[in-house]
Amino acid sequence: MSFTGIVKNELSKLELEKIEAISLLSAILKTSAVIDKSIKISTENASVARHIFNLIKSLYNVSSKITVRRGYNYSKNYIYILEVNSKVNEIIDDLGIKTNIPPSYICDDDVLTRIYLRGVFISCGSINDPKKSRYHLQFTLSNLEYANFIKDKLNLYELNSKVIKKDSKYMVYVKEAEKIGDFLRMINAIQALLYYEDIRIYRDHKNMTNRLNNCEQANIDKVIETATNQVKDIELIDSIGGLDLLDDKTKIVAIYRMKYKEASLHELSEIISLETDTPITKSGLHHRFTKIKEMANKIRNDNKNNRN
């Protein structure tokens, strides 16, 4: 089962007060019901179908007709179709689903707003499994005004949701991992939240470790490249007997570099300070290697001019 299915299973088992049940059912029917002379709701989740059946039964004392069909294109999933043929107008009016924006009593406080958004997710929401792919939460809706309404409700909780058009539908989505976790907490999907946060923390730790390793490797590569270039400069100077032209302090640095070809400047400064009993800092080494490089570059330029 997908992570979305797991979340919806958990949500469909939560207990509700009567006013909460009205808000939840209003959201579900608004986003998934086909209304004519009857009300039809389709879902691939058996637990959600059972939940909707029980809500309608408890609120309106109406038993929905349930039909089970094989999914489209020979899908292994079943589609559960609930059909309500009694009290249709009463249910529609009571749940306030005739207009694009639900009446204020459906979600007029914090608790009912959270319940309503839970219902929208149960009906038309999806969330990527954090273990398998990028972080992504979305709701697929058919009306722009209603999509903006849902976006605004989500953003009451600072979820940074946005709306884009996709084909003939409108998608309200959230991309930030922490915000998706906040949404799961907000709709009371606690077990799903614990799983999600465990995976998110693991992935964040793994990414941080990789970045640190990459940074450390980059530093090592830089040290090796610098030391290699310094060795090449010294070898060039030595090839023409030019080491004796260096001042004593710079010559000592050149000798120690050839002796410790892969040492970093920090390591080399400690070695020279210890073995010569004359302290030298990294900046002091850098200054002397600059002199060596200048001499090596002069030799290269002279060789180039001689060839020309």
Domains, the chain, ordered by start: 3-188 (3.10.28.10), 205-307 (no CATH)
pLDDT band at 5 (very low <50, low <70, confident <90, very high): very high
Residue 13 has pLDDT above 90, yes or no: yes
Residue 308 has pLDDT above 70, yes or no: no
What does the angle CA 50 – CA 55 – CA 59 come to, to the nearest 5 degrees? 155
Residue 16 has pLDDT above 70, yes or no: yes
Calpha distance 119→111 (Å, rounded): 13
Convert the pLDDT of each residue in 30-60 to its tens digit: 999 898 889 999 998 999 999 999 999 999 9
Task: Name the 3-class secondary structure at 262.
Answer: coil
pTM: 0.68
Q: What is the pLDDT of residue 132?
A: 78
Convert the pLDDT of each residue in 252-297 to its tens digit: 999 988 988 888 888 888 888 888 888 889 898 889 999 999 998 9
Average pLDDT of the segment spanning 208-236? 82
- CA-to-CA separations, 96 to 89, 91, 105, in angstroms, rounded: 10, 8, 9
Residue 172 has pLDDT above 90, yes or no: yes
Q: What is the pLDDT of residue 201?
A: 82
Q: What is the pLDDT of residue 73?
A: 61
Convert the pLDDT of each residue in 90-144 to its tens digit: 999 999 998 889 999 999 899 999 999 999 999 999 999 888 768 899 999 999 9
Average pLDDT of the segment spanning 216-227? 80
Calpha distance 127→133 (Å, rounded): 10
Residue 305 has pLDDT above 90, yes or no: no
Convert the pLDDT of each residue in 177-200 to its tens digit: 899 999 999 999 999 999 988 888
Q: What is the pLDDT of residue 75?
A: 58
Closest alpha carbon to 268 in 238, 292, 246: 292
Residue 19 has pLDDT above 90, yes or no: yes
Residue 72 has pLDDT above 70, yes or no: no
Q: Residue 222: phi, psi to the nearest 5? A: -65, -40
pLDDT band at 220 (very low <50, low <70, confident <90, very high): confident
